A and B are shown apart, each in its own frame.
Chain A
Amino acid sequence: QQQVKQSPQSLIVQKGGISIINCAYENTAFDYFPWYQQFPGKGPALLIAIRPDVSEKKEGRFTISFNKSAKQFSLHIMDSQPGDSATYFCAAKRQGAQKLVFGQGTRLTINP
């Protein structure tokens, strides 16, 4: 199985709040889990990535939490800002492969 399931499909958060997007996977041979951010009319851009041997990675207001036993990982956006409004994709890369398997995407709206 090479699926990555992402939830929720859409999310509305107030400015200053915490945005949380979750992903689950089935294939244990994945070796990288990146998150991409896509603004309307633009291509996706890499936000942050984590390996499965790390439980948490933080870059500024963005944190990935990784639960290997549960095969789940999540993106937390602290102090969410209107400029964070975008579609977020989780993804997974299988070891030795080049293909990225993307989640279905989450449309995040931060209300001012």
Chain B
Amino acid sequence: DTAVSQTPKYLVTQMGNDKSIKCEQNLGHDTMYWYKQDSKKFLKIMFSYNNKELIINETVPNRFSPKSPDKAHLNLHINSLELGDSAVYFCASSQDKARSYEQYFGPGTRLTVT
């Protein structure tokens, strides 16, 4: 059983397009995250939701908009894609705020913008 799943796994698109990445966790966790991993492997938090409430909103272009329809799902919508958005995007979840050091990551979505 997949704990944290993401779709799609690969996404190739052109500059200017709008795309979405979906994430689902079946762990019953309260908190979910989006990370961006660049070509140098650096992991950077983008957003975090706790029980559908946005609690972390890092300095990310407002072309990126997260949406949490329920606590098991966290989607990421990106408008007007740019070359610099090419990266691997990871969704993660943690049981609650207290155990946020223990995060479960999805397999990642490799976004390539041409």
Using a CB–CB cutoff of 8 Å, the interface residues on chain A facing chain B are 32-34, 38, 41-46, 49, 87, 89, 91, 93, 97-100, 102, 104-105, 107
Contacts and interface: CB of A to CB of B under 8 A. Distances in A.
B102 A98 contact: no
Contact of A34 (B50, B101, B106, B107): B101
Nearest to B4: A43
B105 A45 contact: yes
Interface residues of B, number: 25
A105 B42 contact: yes
A45 B102 CA distance: 9
Greatest chain B CB density within 10 A among A32, A98, A104, A107 is at: A98
Q: Is the interface of A mostly helix, strand, loop or mixed?
A: strand
A105 B94 CA distance: 21
A91 B101 contact: yes
A43 B105 contact: yes
A44 B101 contact: no
A44 B21 CA distance: 18
Rank and list the top 4 A-B pairs by shortest CB-CB distance, nearest first. A43-B105, A32-B101, A98-B100, A93-B101
A64 B5 CA distance: 30
Q: Which of B40, B50, B94, B105 has the most CB of A within 10 A?
A: B105
A98 B31 contact: yes
B97 interface: yes
Contacts of A38: 41
A43 B48 contact: no
Given A43-B105, A44-B90, A44-B105, A98 B97 contact: yes
